[in-house]
Amino acid sequence: MIRAFELAIQQLGDPRLRSVIWQSLLLSLLLQAAIVGVAWWALQSFVTFQWDWVNSAVHWLGGAAVLVLALMLFPASFGVVISVFIERIADIVESAHYPRLGKARGIPVWTAIWTGLVFLVAVIFLNLVLLVPYLVALLFFGTGAILFYALNGWLTGRLYYEQVALRRMDPAEVKAWRRANAGILWGTGIVIVFLGTIPIVNLIVPVVGTAAMVHVAQTLTPPPAPGRPFNPPAGSR
Chain segment 32-46, per-residue pLDDT in tens: 787 777 667 766 665
Distance, C-alpha 145 to centroid of its chain? 17
Give which of 189, 170, 181, 184 is closest to 78, Cα–Cα: 189
The pLDDT value given to residue 107:
75
The pLDDT value given to residue 217:
93
Q: Interior CA angle at 119 toward 226 and 137, to 5°?
A: 105
Q: Which residues contact 205 (CB under 8 A, 6 or more apart)?
A: 28, 78, 192, 195, 196
Q: What DSSP letter does each residue of 35-63 carry, written as one string?
A: HHHHHHHHHHHH---SSHHHHHHHHHHHH
pTM higher than 0.85: no
Q: Where are the alpha helices (DSSP H) in 74-181?
A: 78-97, 109-129, 131-138, 143-165, 171-180
For residue 199, the 8-state DSSP code is T
Cβ 157 vs Cβ 187: under 8 Å: yes
Distance CA 171, CA 120 (A): 20
Give which of 121, 90, 95 is closest to 207, Cα–Cα: 90
Residues of the chain short of pLDDT 50, as ranges, are: 49, 227, 232-237
The pLDDT value given to residue 176:
92
Give which of 82, 143, 90 is closest to 109, Cα–Cα: 82
| Sequence letter at residue 87 | E
The pLDDT value given to residue 222:
85
Distance CA 191, CA 209 (A): 9
The pLDDT value given to residue 232:
44
Q: Distance between the two ends of the chain, CA-based, in angstroms?
A: 24
Cβ 13 vs Cβ 67: under 8 Å: no
The pLDDT value given to residue 65:
60
For residue 231, the 8-state DSSP code is S
Give which of 31, 107, 103, 42 is closest to 74, Cα–Cα: 31
**Model pLDDT for residues 158-196, shown as the tens digit of each residue:** 889 988 998 898 888 888 999 999 999 999 999 999 998
The pLDDT value given to residue 171:
85
| Sequence letter at residue 77 | S
Distance CA 15, CA 20 (A): 10
